[in-house]
Amino acid sequence: MQPAHAAGRLLFIGFRGLTIADEPALAPLAAAGLIGGVLLLQRNCSSREQLQSLCHSLHELPSPHRLRICIDQEGGSVQRLPWHDMPSARDVAAGMSSDEAEALYEDMAHELKACGVDWNLAPVVDLDIDPLSPAIGAGGRSFGVNADTVSEFAGAFLRAHRKAGVKTCLKHYPGHGSAGVDTHEGLADITDTWRQTELLPYSNLLQQGLVDAVMPGHLLHRECDAHCPATLSAAHLRYLHEKLGWDGVVVSDDMQMGALSAFGSAESLMLQALHAGADVLLAGNWLEFDITLARRWNSLVQSAINQGELPPERLRQAIQRLERMFGV
C-alpha cells in the first residue's frame, strides 16, 4: 500500500521567483509530500550563485522524499542559464565533431551539477524534417535531418551528462520535427507528415544504454491513436515500451500547454497520462502558481484508485521507475 501522498512523488511543478521565499507555498507542498520536484525555467535563474542557493534551499526543504530539480537546458533558443551561453543543436552538429560536442556538453552538464540540478530535460532527438517547424526547426533545436547524425550528437550529449551525474531525457516522442504547430500554442497533428525514421534515434540510443527518460510530445498521429496526443495515449506509450523496448521513466511534456487546453483540466489530463503510462507529470505554472493543483492531483489519483479506475500497480510502477532512475 502506497502512502496517501504517493501521487505527489510524480508531480514536478514550476514556480515564479529566484528564492523559495518568493513562493511561500512551496515549503508546505514539499512537507506534505504533494510534489516530487520542481521545474526550473529562465525566470528562476539569474546567476550561478543565485541558482546554487535556490537549489540548495530546495534540496533542504523537509519532505517525505528528496525533492528533485529539473530544467531544460538545450542550448540555442532553449537555455535557462543566462550566464552560460551554449550553441544550438543545429550549430553544434554543423560545426563540431561528436567528440568536440561531447566536451562542450560536459561543460554544460558540470555547470548544471555544480548548481544543484538533478535532471536536464534534453536532448531533442527530433529530426529536422521541416526547417520552418515553429517548435523545432525554426529554433535550430534539432541536430539534423539524418537519424544517424541525430543519434551521434544526442549520444554525445547523453554521455557528457552521465559523466557529470545529471539525468537526461529524450524528446519529443514519436517525433516533433515535421509539426507545423508549436504545441505551446495548440495541438500538432503529424499524421500526414511524420516518418518512421523519426523513431530511429530512440532505438539507436536505447541500444547503447544511454537513456534515462523519454518525453512524449503533445502530438496527434491518427494512425496510432485517432483521439489522443502521444502524451495521453496508451497506444503510443505501449509502442514505446513494447516495440522500442523502453522500460524506464516516461515524463510528460508540460501538461498546461496550449495543445491540451481543449482536453480538460490539468489534473484530469495528468491522471489520463498516468493511466496511459506516463510516470512523471510536469506542470510549469506559466500563468500563475496554483497551490491547489498538487492537492487536487493527489486527491484525484487516490479517488481513482479507490473507485477501481486506476490500478494501484500503475502508481507503484511509476514510483519504482522514478526511484530506479535516480538510484534510490
Q: Hey, which residues are catalytic here?
A: 184, 253
Q: Rounded to the nearest 5°, which phi and psi values hold at 197? A: -65, -15
Whole-number Å distance between alpha carbons of 111 and 252:
25
The DSSP bridge pattern shows strands 68-71 and 119-120 to be parallel
Taking residue 269's Cβ as centre, other Cβ atoms within 10 Å add up to: 20
CB 150 within 8 A of CB 201: yes
Whole-number Å distance between alpha carbons of 194 and 157:
25
Residue with cell 521513466: 249
Beta bridge partners of 250: 214
Whole-number Å distance between alpha carbons of 182 and 46:
27
Residue with cell 530546495: 58
Whole-number Å distance between alpha carbons of 301 and 323:
19
45: left (phi over 0), alpha (psi -120 to 50) or beta: beta
